[in-house]
Structure 1
Amino acid sequence: MRGPLFYAKILLFGEYGIIKDSKGLAIPFNSYKGALKTAQNLTGEAKKSNENLKSFYNYLTNLDSSLVSFNLESFQEDISSGMYFDSSIPQGYGVGSSGALVASIYDKYANDKITVLENLTRDKLVKLKEIFSVMESFFHGKSSGLDPLNSYLSIPILINSKENIEATGIPSQKEGKGAVFLLDSEQVGETEPMVSIFMNKMKNEGFRKMLSEEFVTYTDACIEDFLKGNVTSLFGNVKKLSKVVLANFKPMIPNAFHKVWEKGIQTNDYYLKLCGSGGGGYILGFTEDFEKAKQSLKNYKLEIVYRF
């Protein structure tokens, strides 16, 4: 048995802000993917994944069935037969490893599921996001549901607010010099502690003010620029966003990258921002000249996501 493929995702803009109802823009990232598989003799990662699915099964048995219900009998049988999630998506890297798993379980076992083929009205998208939020909370303690939604639909998604999300198109890539890229911190990040730090910071009035007046403003402007293809304006706003993140989200940036982050702002070779909750994993980079950024970051592993 092999299930359909579910891809990684990249939240280009909106990390943390979407918890507080700012805009967000997520795109599928097809370099990494996962699928449900079954094997007779499980070892290593496959065995670990199978154990994880058992815990997830127990969690799903206690979910509010008025929101979503599953064919739990079939799910339990498949786990007993050696089912696991075979994935190339790195865990703790901010590219949606648990999201792809959640999407695959919903796809295979949800009763009356909303399918990708039907007319995806705003109400259906909001309902799917709500279902995925509850499902993915098993992994992170609190989830927006956006990662599984993106993985399940495999199309760019624009979040205008919690109750207003839509499928969107993004400008087609050009063979230009500019790029969005991933910078590998070579450290694993954990979502739950990072979200806890953020929630504690939200108790501070100054932090809340910065979030609504600066972080959300620049995030929303970046999304608008990106979708309209206003590249010059986009880089101006990404630079402002990068500065705000460095000044206010230091715990989410691995210590070894504080100076690297600062260097990008000072030289304009590249600008960095969080990819997911931060704390490790990938850092997202934006540059108007990828060759220059590559030279500037020659000691690090970079991977292109999108070309301008």
Structure 2
Amino acid sequence: MKGPLFYSKILLFGEYGIIKDSKGLSIPYNFYKGALKSDHNPSAESLESNTILSEYLIYLKTLDNTVGQFNFEQMQKDISNGMYFDSSIPQGYGVGSSGALVAAIYDKYATEKVTVLENLTRVKLLKLKTIFAQMESFFHGKSSGLDPLNSYLSLPILISAQDQIEATGIPSQNTTGKGTVFLLDSGVVGETAPMVQIFMQKMKQEGFRSMLKDQFIKHTDHCVDAFLAGDVHTLFKSTKQLSKVVLSHFKPMIPKKFHQLWASGIESNDYYLKLCGSGGGGYILGFTEDIDKARKALSDYKLEVVYNF
């Protein structure tokens, strides 16, 4: 048995903000992928994945039809036959490892699937997002449902508000351009749930809520609009402001050893860093107008180019 491939994703803009109605833009990242497989000579990794799937099956049964019907009998049979999720998507790196798994399970076992091959309406997207949010909560405690949605559709997704969501086109890449979005490997595995808890605690403070609305969400929205319009000048100007706000107000989500590196990018204008997903480790997202300058400034770290301007 080998299932279809489900890809990783990158939330370019909107981390944390989409919980409070900021815009968000998520794109598929085909460098990493996963598929459901069976293995009769299992490795330690596939055995571990198989155990997680057994636990996940129990969790899905508790959702009590709120996410639709599943063929649990077949899923149990496949798990007993050694099914696991064979994935190259790094876990705890903010690129949607659990989202791809959720999309794969829904695709294979949902009996009344919301199909997207024909008419992709806003109602369908919202329904899928709601289903996926509940399905992914097993992994994070709280999920927007966006990661599995992106993996399931393999299309860029634009969020304008909680209930305004659409598949979107993004500007064509300029493969020879020096302007770049890149991933920087922090070398630390991040956990989503503790980061979300920190955010929720901070949200109890009136000052933090005001900052989120007046600064974080404002700059995030400007970044999304500029990216989609292909307005590179405004994009980098807004990304710099967003990077400053994150360094000032989201420090617990940035691994300590990157605080100075983050500040150096803002000061030199060689690159601007932002959170990739919930933060706490994993990948850090970088934006630069000159990838050569960024590589030189970040020569101690591994960079992966995601998009060229």
TM-score range, shorter chain: over 0.9
Rounded Cα–Cα distance in structure 2 between residues aligned with 1:155 and 1:43:
33
**SS of equivalent residue, structure 1 residue 29:** strand
Residues 37-48 of structure 1: pairs in structure 2 closer than 5 A: 37-48=37-48
Rounded Cα–Cα distance in structure 1 between residues aligned with 2:11 and 2:297:
24
Alignment partner, residue 179 of structure 2: 178
> What is the Cα deviation at residue 116 of structure 1?
2.8
Matched to 1:135, the amino acid is M
Give aligned-pair identity as a percent.
69
> What is the Cα deviation at residue 41 of structure 1?
2.6
Alignment partner, residue 240 of structure 1: 241
Alignment partner, residue 263 of structure 2: 262
> What is the Cα deviation at residue 111 of structure 1?
1.3
Deviates more, 1:36-45 or 1:249-258: 36-45
Alignment partner, residue 85 of structure 1: 85
Residues 44-59 of structure 1: pairs in structure 2 closer than 5 A: 44-59=44-59
Aligned: 1:195 with 2:189: no
> What is the Cα deviation at residue 21 of structure 1?
1.5
Rounded Cα–Cα distance in structure 2 between residues aligned with 1:90 and 1:260:
23
Matched to 2:185, the amino acid is D
Alignment partner, residue 122 of structure 1: 122
Runs of 4+ in 1 over 2 A off after TM superposition: none
> What is the Cα deviation at residue 168 of structure 1?
0.1
Alignment partner, residue 13 of structure 1: 13
Rounded Cα–Cα distance in structure 1 between residues aligned with 2:70 and 2:19:
27
> What is the Cα deviation at residue 269 of structure 1?
0.0
Q: Which runs of 5+ in 2 are unaligned?
A: none
Rounded Cα–Cα distance in structure 1 between residues aligned with 2:64 and 2:259:
43
| 2:67–2:134 Cα contact (<8 Å) kept | no
Alignment partner, residue 72 of structure 1: 72
Alignment partner, residue 133 of structure 2: 133
Aligned CA-pair RMSD:
0.6
**SS of equivalent residue, structure 1 residue 106:** helix
Give the TM-score normalised by the residue count of structure 2.
Answer: 0.99
Rounded Cα–Cα distance in structure 2 between residues aligned with 1:88 and 1:70:
26
Matched to 1:242, the amino acid is S
Task: Say how many residue pairs are matched.
Answer: 308
Rounded Cα–Cα distance in structure 1 between residues aligned with 2:42 and 2:280:
31
> What is the Cα deviation at residue 66 of structure 1?
4.1
> What is the Cα deviation at residue 124 of structure 1?
0.3
Give the TM-score normalised by the residue count of structure 1.
Answer: 0.99
Matched to 1:231, the amino acid is V
> What is the Cα deviation at residue 114 of structure 1?
1.2
Q: Which runs of 5+ in 1 are unaligned?
A: none
Q: 1:190-237: CA deviations, max 9, x gaps?
A: 000000000000000000000000000000000000000000010000
Rounded Cα–Cα distance in structure 1 between residues aligned with 2:93 and 2:111:
31
> What is the Cα deviation at residue 161 of structure 1?
1.0
